[in-house]
Each structure stands twice: as C-alpha cells, then as structure tokens.
Amino acid sequence: MRIGTPVTASALSVGRAPLESTLHTGAQAQPPLGALAYGQAANVPWMSSVNAPVLFAHAPQADLWRAGARVDAGRSGAVRWRTDGHWAFGIIDLPEDGEGLESLAETGYRDLFQALQDTGCPHLLRIWNYLPRINEDGGGLERYRQFNVGRQRAFIDAGHAVYEGSPAACALGAQEGGLSIRFLAGQLAPLAIENPRQVSAYRYPSSYGPRPPTFSRAALADMGDGQLALLISGTASIVGHATVHPGDAAEQTRETLRNLAAVVEAANQRCTAGFDMAELHPVVYVRHPGDAPRVRDVLTSALGADATFLQHAVFLQADICRQDLLVEIEAHAVARGAVKA
C-alpha cells in the first residue's frame, strides 16, 4: 500500500523528555510519529524500547518524534511503520531462528526498503541497530561482521548508496532478543557529513570484516519550519580507522569528544545553524558498567554539569561493535538554520 502525499508539508520535531511526560504529550491532539524509550517502554503502539540497561539518567527518558496531525500505521513484512505522509518511523524486531545474522540483517533491511516505498518516504535519516551478542563468533565470522555483510547486500539490492550518502546510524549490542532496527525516514534527502579525523566507515579496510559498515558519521536533515537537525551516528575512540586508547575508558571518552567536536564542526561548515557541542542530546553507551562514573566525569569536566549535554544524557550499558571499544556516544541537536547552498 502506498500512502498518498498530502498537499501541505509537515514539520518534524524531536523532544527528549521523561517517559511520563512523553506519555502525557501522546494524549494530545498531535499524534506521535514514534518514540524510543531508553530502558523500559510504555505499552503504547508508537513507543519502542532500546533494550539496554540504564546506568544513569535524570529520569527514565524517551525521544519522541512528532510530525503531522494525521498518522497512519501499517506493516511492510517485518516492519511496523507509522507515517504522516512526509515522515516515517519504523520498527523491526526479528527473532533469531538459527539462520545467522547475515541473512537476518538482509531480511530486515529488505523489508525496511519496502517500507520506504510503502510509506512514500524514500530517504533514510537515521537508523538504530541493536544485535544480541554482537561480538560473539557467528561461525567463522563475528556476528557484527555478519550483520555488515547482510546489511550492505540489502542496500545494494534496493539500489541505495552504500558509500557517500549512507544514512546516519548506530549499531550496539542488545541485552537479549533478536535483531532490532528502528529508523526515521523522510521525503527529502539529508546531507551526509563525514569526520576528517576518521576514515569513512564505509571505506574501512577488510581487516574489519569482509564488508564495511554502511553509515555516514552524521546527517543534516531539514525538518521544516526553518529547523535543521544534526543526527550524529555512534561515535567512538577511532582515529583514521584504528581504535585508540584500548583498555582506557577515560581516554576513549576524551577521544570520542574530539571526534564529536570534529563532526559538529564539519556540519557547521555546511549549514547556517551553528550547532554547539554542549547543546547535543547524547546517548552514551558504556561496555562495562564500572566505567560509567569515570566516563560521566570526563564528559562533565569537558562540558559542564549544567550543559544540555549532561542534563539530557542517557547512559546505557551495551556492548560496542569492536571488542576494544569501551564507550560510544550518539547524539542529536536541532537548531534554526539551513544547509548552505
């Protein structure tokens, strides 16, 4: 089924708020497009949880995406989507039945691309991937690397870019369950941003796996109403393509901050919004819960306890896609502005 295109465009918005107030907001006239709850989700059809234990947050948090006044819900294979005709939010939860992560990822992404067609929202803005036992051996290849093979094949089969122009994304270990993918899509292509300190992930050498990961370091997306979103992918202690500071969570956090700053600067060169590091809304993934206080201390010293960054940060325990990475930070920010012509 294809949803007809409404005459007027809707503006997209995102808010990070305590779960309780998010639910309250959901009862108002404008229906939610989708929400990601960190930790436990409420039992409403538009909210799904990021299945990772919360280490710190000022309250149970959720990111709520809103768009137009009328939202339709539907399915495309394994995808459950909601769309207002301009923006779409989709959820995929695929149980593992022994077929392996390569084919599971391929199936999930094939359905994801079908959902883009069915909703009439062809451009991916942001993808969240969660894989159980991400660093385990899947029979000759690490499971994350298997995932990369299946994901890239599905992108190619659907005719989507696997190098420049890949969507912003993150990929983390999940506590349990199957393959979980959440995505946000729209009608306008975002501008992909890379990090000059890092080799583009889609150009990683084959020593990191037979197929590289398919994501850009960040995306700038026009949200309508003069607002621009900076959607920053999972960012870690990688310089060039190598992990730096193995075994040192505090130094990895400092390097990750340098990478986030470089991505923000690269984005600011391409737009008029003037994004500020301290204004980011981050999710901080920490592999070992015992490292979380030190990671938080490093972020607090760098940005200040009162910064939006620390006030809105959600710290989650999750395995990260390289064995030697101890911390990974993803973030978004919204500001008035536009991409430069």
Residues 18-47 that bind ligand 3EB (CB under 6 A): none
Quick one: CA torsion of 296, 299, 304, 307, rounded to 10 degrees? -90
Contact (Cβ atoms closer than 8 angstroms) between residue 126 and residue 88: no
Residues 155-214 that bind ligand 3EB (CB under 6 A): 169-171, 201, 213
Q: Is residue 119 a contact point for ligand 3EB (CB under 6 A)?
A: no
CA distance 5 to 45: 23
CA distance 74 to 80: 6
In Å, what is the CA distance from 321 to each residue of 146, 180, 209, 276?
12, 15, 12, 27
The piece of 179-187, 222-230, 231-239, 304-312 that touches ligand 3EB (CB under 6 A) is 231-239
Of 83, 71, 73, 88, the residue nearest 28 (C-alpha): 71
Contact (Cβ atoms closer than 8 angstroms) between residue 107 and residue 78: yes
- To ligand 3EB, the closest distance from the beta carbon of 321 in angstroms equals 5
156 sits in which H/E element: helix 143-157
Q: Count residues contacting ligand 3EB (CB under 6 A)?
A: 12
Contact (Cβ atoms closer than 8 angstroms) between residue 45 and residue 53: no
The piece of 22-30, 105-113, 223-231, 232-240 that touches ligand 3EB (CB under 6 A) is 232-240
Q: Which residues are catalytic?
A: 328
- To ligand 3EB, the closest distance from the beta carbon of 262 in angstroms equals 12
- Each residue 264-303 as x (binds ligand 3EB by CB under 6 A) or -, in order, gives ----------------------------------------
Which one among 51, 152, 233, 308 touches ligand 3EB, defined by CB under 6 A?
Answer: 233
- To ligand 3EB, the closest distance from the beta carbon of 290 in angstroms equals 22
Which one among 238, 263, 283, 284 touches ligand 3EB, defined by CB under 6 A?
Answer: 238
- To ligand 3EB, the closest distance from the beta carbon of 282 in angstroms equals 13
CA distance 212 to 209: 6
Which residue lies nearer to ligand 3EB by CB, 170 or 249?
Answer: 170
CB environment 24-60: b (16+ within 10 A), e (fewer): ebbeeebbbbbbbbbbebbeeebbbbbbbebbebeeb
Query: What is the distance, to the nearest Å, from the Cα of residue 196 to the centroid of all Cα atoms in its chain?
Result: 20
Which one among 236, 271, 298, 316 touches ligand 3EB, defined by CB under 6 A?
Answer: 236
Residues forming contacts to ligand 3EB in the complex (CB under 6 A) are: 129, 169-171, 201, 213, 215, 233-234, 236, 238, 321
